[in-house]
Amino acid sequence: MTLRTRLLLGICTTIIVTLSATHYGMFVLMKRQLLTEFDDALAAKARALAVLVEQDGDRVDIEFQKHPMQEFARGMRPEYYQVWHADGTVLARSRQLGKDDLAQLRGDRVVPQIKSVVLPDGRGGRAAGISFRPNMEGELPPVSPPPRRDPNGRIAGMEDDDNDALDLDESDYASRPLVTLVVARDTQDLDASLAKLTWLLAGSGLLATVIILGVLAWLVTQNLRPLQSLARQIGAVNEQTLNQRFALKNAPGELHPIVVRLNGLMTCLETAFQREKTFTADVAHELRTPLAGIRSTLEVSLSRPREADSYLLSMQKSLRISEETETIISTLLSLSRIEAGHAKLETDIVDLCSLLQRMWRPFEQRATEAGIHVVWNLKQHVVLKTDPGKLQMVIANLFDNATSYVDRGGDIVIATCFDDAANLHFSVVNSGCSLTNDQVKHACDRFWRGDAARSATGLHSGLGLALTRRIVQFLDGQIGISVKNSRFTADIQLPSTCIEATDDMANDSEDEMAVGLRSSESLTVRTLATDHSVV
């Protein structure tokens, strides 16, 4: 079911239920009002007829029987009345009533009793009945003059209850018999009015529903067109059109975030597809060079007979090239396992400072031979709970990168510190960097190297920092690469949750250790000033 259909069904159901409930409520209220007006008119007629019933000695005179009214005497749709004595004797009845009787209803002049009845001719109707004691002939209640109001707006004469005009009536009604008068008339006009009202409300409701639904269908269709346009644009996307971006004109505000997210997704897909397109060429290039080196070495060795030492040198060279090729393949496998989610985190307790010093030993000779000055700025007793094997790969890659690209006679700074959020940072900084800020953004990309000509192919494959970034992310950390004043900085941030202990850090802050290596000197330990920042 489409979104348009769902919206229209939901709106249609809501409108129909709302209009039906509203029109039904209006019908009930108007029916009650019409019925109230009908009953009030019937009760008023009963009171008016009761005035024409008088007591004449022991006899009850009914004036409207002597002079029949037209509504009671007509042959078509007549009205009916009937009068009973207190002993049940029928004193009078309308001529059209014949021998039939109306239901005796004993209300009073103030509140007559009214109910629905079936008239003698089978029509439906309403009857109003009152029981009263008739007046004597010529006996009427005195009519009170209009009330006088004082300057304050109050009715004058109302303070004294003894002046009440009703107290002038001192007639003895208790000795007079009760008379019951019932008046009935059909409800044909009332029923016709209610029927018209029913059709009017039903027709107006139906017309309003059709008009509203038509307008809503048009509005929903118009407002869903951006979605249809977006769907068409998405359907046209393939691997050849990833450079296209989605655009919607006059789109509602709710669709703008979706378009922005989709365009961001397209950018990621374009980047990923582009990377995949270049991946095969990069791998082929990186593997072709060492394989070509092995082949050329073997061809030269086999070109003519040579001494054993020459063959041994060729085999050693081929072995070294094979090891470099194996390193590239192992790095790619490690990357693929991490990105595929197959890598497992094997946590253990690690003394970071001891690990850094131990991991530096394989690079110590290279630094000494190149005359590199190494400065250590470490906080002691920083104990981590992390994966030692993967952390060693990160440190080894950073040390290899620093010693490979530092300028001869330059310096390398290895430091640790904590930020305001208690996160641990350890960084490796080397001098002699010639990368620009735009180039350093790609330092962690696969197979990327600063030398566009790949002159170092066979020595560096451009996978070290890429693997480092993925491992650091796997360890819930972050890596930051920056260049400032020709100094390349690789900063690793590990969350405070992985810090197991930092015993004696306050005491050690003034006893930090520095080690400098010169080309003709061994490792020298010297005390640095209190400075916890990364150089």
Q: pLDDT truncated to tens, each residue of the chain (535 aa)?
A: 777 788 888 888 888 899 899 989 999 999 999 999 999 999 999 999 988 888 877 788 888 877 778 888 888 889 999 999 988 888 888 888 888 889 999 888 889 999 999 998 889 999 999 998 888 766 654 444 454 555 554 545 444 444 444 444 555 666 778 899 999 999 999 999 999 999 998 999 889 888 988 888 888 888 888 888 888 888 888 877 888 888 887 777 878 888 888 888 888 888 877 767 666 665 666 667 678 878 888 888 888 888 888 888 888 888 887 876 776 677 667 666 666 666 677 788 888 888 888 889 888 888 888 888 999 888 767 888 888 888 888 888 888 888 888 888 889 999 888 888 888 888 899 998 877 777 777 676 655 555 444 444 444 555 667 777 878 888 888 888 888 888 888 898 888 888 877 655 434 433 433 333 333 233 322 222 223 222 2
Burial of 270 (0-12, 13-18, 19+ CB in 10 A): middle
Q: DSSP assignment of 38-88, as one string? A: HHHHHHHHHHHHHHTEEEETTEEEEHHHHS--HHHH-SSS--EEEEEETTS
C-alpha distances in Å from residue 458, one per residue of 285, 363, 453: 10, 19, 13
pLDDT at position 533 is 28
Contact by Cβ (8 Å): 425, 534: yes
Q: Report residue 351 CA to chain centroid gap.
A: 46
Residues 6+ apart with CB under 8 A from 34: 190, 193, 194
Query: What are 252's strand-pairing partners?
Result: none
**Dist CA 387 CA 310 (whole Å):** 45
**Residue 302: both structure tokens together:** 């086999």
Contact by Cβ (8 Å): 148, 156: yes
pLDDT at position 115 is 92
**Residue 341: both structure tokens together:** 């989610």
pLDDT at position 199 is 92
Three-state SS at 348: strand
Place of tokens 């992310």: 473
pLDDT at position 240 is 79
pLDDT at position 467 is 72
CA dihedral (398, 404, 406, 412) positive or negative: positive
Rg value, the chain, Cα: 54
pLDDT at position 125 is 93
**Residue 105: both structure tokens together:** 């209803």
Query: What are 182's strand-pairing partners?
Result: 82, 129
pLDDT at position 99 is 86
Other Cβ atoms less than 10 A from the Cβ of 313: the count is 14
pLDDT at position 291 is 80
pLDDT at position 423 is 87
